[in-house]
Each structure stands twice: as structure tokens, then as C-alpha cells.
Amino acid sequence: MKSRLLVVLAVLVPLAGCGSSSGGGNGDADPAKLVPASAPVYVEITARPEGSTRDDAEAAAKKLLKTDDPGAKAQQLFDQAFKDQGVSWKDFEPWLGQRVGAFFTSFADKAQGAFIFTSTDDGKAKDTLGKLLRKDDNGKAQVSQRTYKDVSYDYDANDKDALGTVDGYAVFGSESGFKQAVDVSKGGQNITSNKDFTAGRDAVGAGDSLANAWTNPQTLLDAIGSNPQASQALPALRQVFAQLGRSAAASFLAKSNALRLNFAAIGAPESGSRSSGADVAAALPSDAWLAVGIADLGKGLRKGIGQLNNLGNLGGVDVGGMMSQFESQADINLKRDVLSWMGDGALYARGKSLADLGFVFTVTSTNADRSKVAPKRIAHALHQFGASVRPADIPGYDSAYALRFPPLPFAFYVAGSGERVSIGLNPKAMSDVAGPKNKLGDAPAFDSATNTLGDGIRPSVLIDFPTVVQLLEGIGLGNNPDYKKAKPYLDAIGVISAGGTRDGDTSKARAAVELR
């Protein structure tokens, strides 16, 4: 199955099809109706967006691509991608309907599944897709005619691909995938009968998207497990995938002022956290151009180390032994000296030039006695690996140390108190994290991110990209020829953000890029 086709379709087709009509016929049909109910993965692209979806996609593309005709530019890129196959957008344009779907059922030897194209002209669709079949030295496809349940199709013995039309859809994929689509057309259950599938698509707003995807995590693991190289890791992977619930869905939407990526996990377990990443990020200083808030970081790390240990054991890697060796060399007990006191975590960066640049990683404390002595133990451990250590005085912390690894020209600092432990490159920035005069939650960038994310979602991740651009110019990139070429495209990007929320038994997350 030619997965490269899906990549090109996902990136270029929604833009290339913005300016043209889908026509009549079967063009507005739903390709999911030919997907077997048991399929663990389904991906769909809106090849020809309509109405406000098309208007928003065009407006966003104009800002990003700096052109008044984004469709023409996308068509050029499409033609270049398929140049070797002798296919251009003009081959697709006369027959391609509104949507293209793709499902996968197995990853044992090669990906098994099929692409399902809504089509307004079956003959033209088959002629175009036939050009993608492998050619011999004389430029002819090595295909034979086969029939399955009274449906004829072309079979490529080299790639073991099948191509044919089924109930007005053009179907192209592995032979087993083609046959499954035929089975559904003959009365088999399709994926839309799965309540978790429809709930997932509704949760991410797939109806207005340019692209969306859905998976059943556990059956996906079964499909991956059919590959002998991956089967040993399945027990540990199931623990990780259990966090995705019964099903997971994602969608990509374009608005005139933003790009959004939505994610939803149906039946995902609750975190049980009393705080949120957004609360953590909002408490950082207001001048942050990078803010990342992680609720219950310590709990997540402890759980993650346990899962990593299980994965390592399955792969023949003694993760626990490696950690014990590190602890012995560093003269530190990670569980007692580091993990035991860790609460919420955050990453903070600020500055528009090298003079005021600051990076800080900070973690709140759940055990004041241990976090107070943590900087000394961390500094001692790093000294065992060659760092020079000297005491430092950083307001807002009870103890601090400056560390330097030769030949690095700069020092970094580790500081702690009963409330938090911070590691950073700028002592002033570390002090500001411990006691900010103004908080990010009250800053315009935070409000902008919240508005762009929408639906009341507050950002736990925020990147003030215009400030990043100022920093790049402040450190001397402004005169670089390559930077000058990229500058107009960089200026189109505003605040980048991500956040999440919980709605009943569904966990939702959203990432957004503001367009200017």
C-alpha cells in the first residue's frame, strides 16, 4: 500500500482543491462507509473543502504561503511530488470528490489497507490511479485482471496492490484491503456503526476539518503485534496505550486567523491531579516567550520510569541496572533525593537578546525538607561527572550552586527552597520564577492564546513566536540571507499554544497556531 500517497494528499490536496468545485455524482459521499468496522486506523482528508471551510483554508493559506493564489502554488507542489509517476493535478481534478479516506488493518509485513476516493467519474479515476502502479522497463504496468464477489479489479503482482471501483468509489490499496472494502459494500458492517468512532469524530470536529484520523488503541496494538519484531513489546505498550482509552481521534482545522489540531481520547482515565498545566504556566513571569506547565510532573516521572523499565526488560535492556550504576557513580539516590519531592513542573524562557536571555526549569516541592537539600545533592552528583561547583546566592531560594562543565563558556545554576527547586542559565530569571512581579496568566499573550484555542481551553504550552523572531534577530541572524528569505513566512505566525480539558469520559487537547 503506497503510504507516500497519503502524505502528499494530506499536505497538498486540501489546498489544491480549494478553488474548484467537486461536481455531482458520488463526489460528496462518505468514504468511511466502505471501511470495515474492525479497522483499527482510519484517516480522512477533505480533498475539496466547501463553504466556510474552504474560505478559511484559503485565507489561512494566503497568510502562510504569502500568495493570493494558494491553490495554484499547492498544485505546483503536487505536480512536482508525482512527476516521476507521470501524474499531475490535472489528472485528479476532473473526477476527485470531496473526501479521500484510508484505512489500515495490519502492519505485519507491509501495511495492509486501502485508499477510498470519492469520485465523480469512475473511468477517469481508475485511469489516473492506474498510473501509480509500478511500471516495467518499457513503462507498462504489470497488472492482471481479477474478480472478487463479482467486482473486477487490476492486480499488481509486484507490489501486491489492487485497484478498482466499488459502489462509485475508487479503491486502491493492498489486495486484502480492497477485498474488505468489497465485503462492506456487499452488506458488511462499516466503521460508522462503531459508537466510539462517531463519538471520536464528533469530539474533534471532524465535520469541519481538512484532515482527521481515528484509531482504536488496543486493536491497533493487535495490528502492530502481527509484526514479529514488535510483538514482544506489546504488554508494556498496552499499559501506555491504555491512557488513550477506548478510542482516540484527531483533526486538523484551518481558520482565517489560526490553525488548530484537535485530539480526543474516549474513555481515557482521569489524571486525578488537583492542578492543571494551564495553572502552572499561568503562574510563570509575564515576560515568558516560552512557557510549559506540567501538572504532577513527579507522579508522571515515577510512572514513566516504571513503564520504561518494563519496556527495557522486554527488549533485553536492564534499565533498572543502568539507573543503579548511574546512582552509584553519581553518589545519589534518584527516588529519595529527586523524585520524592517533585510536584508540578514548568519550563520558562525569556529575553530578546543574549544579554537578557534566560532559561529556567522549575519544579514545585511536595516535601520541603528534601527539596531544601536537593540542590546540594544534585550539585554533588554532577561534580562526580566533571562539573566545577561553587556556592551561589540567588534571591528567592535557600541554597544555590553555580556549575560549569569545561569547555562550556557559561555556568548554569541549581537552587532550591522549601517551595521549589530550579535549574537555569540566568540567576535573575530564576529569582523571577520564584517570585514573579507580574504573572503570565495576566499577560496579553496568554489571553491571545486562550482566544485562539477556543472553547474555554487555557494554554499549558505557550510560545510567543513574534518574540522568538526578535530574539533571532537580536543574536545576529537578521543579516543572514536565508533568514531574510524566511522572514516573511515567520512574520505570519503569532502565538503558538496548546492546552487540554476534560468532558465527561473524554479527554480533549488542542494545539493552535495564531496567524497574522
80 and 194 within one domain: yes
> For the residues 241-262, what does the mean pLDDT come to?
89
Q: Would you mind telling me the total number of residues written for the chain in this entry?
A: 516
Greatest mean pLDDT range, 215-229, 267-281, 371-385, 466-480? 371-385
* CA proximity to 34, closest of 142, 116, 148, 153: 116
Q: Are residues 105 and 69 in the same domain?
A: yes
Whether residue 139 is found in the same domain as residue 106: yes
pTM: 0.87
pLDDT of 226 reads 59
Query: Confidence band (pLDDT; 50, 70, 90) for 272?
Result: low
Q: Look at residue 513 and tell me whether its pLDDT is greater than 80.
A: yes
H helix runs in 27-121, sequence order = 51-65, 70-81, 89-92
135 DSSP 8-state letter: B
Region 12-37 average pLDDT = 70
For 120-140, what is each residue's pLDDT tens digit?
999 999 999 888 876 666 666
Which carries the bigger pLDDT value, residue 84 or residue 57? 57
Cα(206)–Cα(193) distance, integer angstroms:
16
**18 and 152 part of one domain:** yes
If you average pLDDT over residues 33-53, what whole number do you get? 92
Please say which residue of 434, 453, 487 terminates a domain.
434
462 found inside a domain: no
pLDDT tens readout for residues 193-206: 999 999 999 999 98
Higher-pLDDT residue of 331 and 218 is 331
pLDDT band of residue 224 (cuts 50, 70, 90) is: confident
For the segment 341-360, what is each residue's pLDDT rounded down to a tens digit?
999 999 999 998 888 899 99
Both 86 and 189 in a single domain? yes
The partner residues of 363 in beta bridges, in order of sequence, read 345, 421
Question: Is there a single domain that holds both residue 150 and residue 206?
Answer: yes
Does 134 lie in the same domain as 223?
yes
- Is residue 451 in some structural domain? no
pLDDT tens digits, 301-348: 988 887 677 656 555 677 778 888 988 998 999 999 999 999 999 999
Q: Residue 102 and residue 114: Cα distance in Å, rounded?
A: 6
505 in any annotated domain: no
pLDDT at 227: 57
**Inside any domain, residue 60:** yes
- Same domain membership, residue 9 and residue 148: yes
**Residue 180 in domain:** yes
pLDDT tens digits along 44-79: 999 888 889 889 988 998 998 888 888 888 888 888
pLDDT in tens, 399-438: 999 999 988 888 999 999 999 999 999 999 999 999 999 9
Residue range(s) defining the domain that contains residue 167: 3-253
8 Å CB contact between 514 and 495: yes
Number of domains into which the chain is organized: 2
- Specify whether 247 is located in the same domain as 284: no
What phi and psi values does residue 155 have, to the nearest 5 degrees? Answer: -120, 125
Which residues have C-beta within 8 Å of that of residue 36, sequence separation ≥ 6?
A: 103, 105, 180, 181, 183, 184, 188, 189, 190, 191
**249 with 289, same domain?**
no
Residue 442 in domain: no
- In our burial notation (b when 16+ CB lie closer than 10 A, e otherwise), range 412-443 reads bbbbbbebbbbbbbbbebbbbbbebeeebbeb
- Residues 317 and 388 both lie in one domain: yes
Q: Decide if 478 is inside a domain.
A: no
Average pLDDT over the chain, rounded to an integer? 87
Which of 237, 253, 269 is a domain's end point?
253
Does a structural domain hold residue 445? no
For residue 364, how far is the Cα from the chain centroid?
Answer: 28
Residues 100 and 217 in one domain: yes
For residue 365, pLDDT over 80 is answered with yes
Of 434, 458, 485, the one marking the end of a domain is 434
**Is-contact 499 280, C-beta < 8 A?**
no
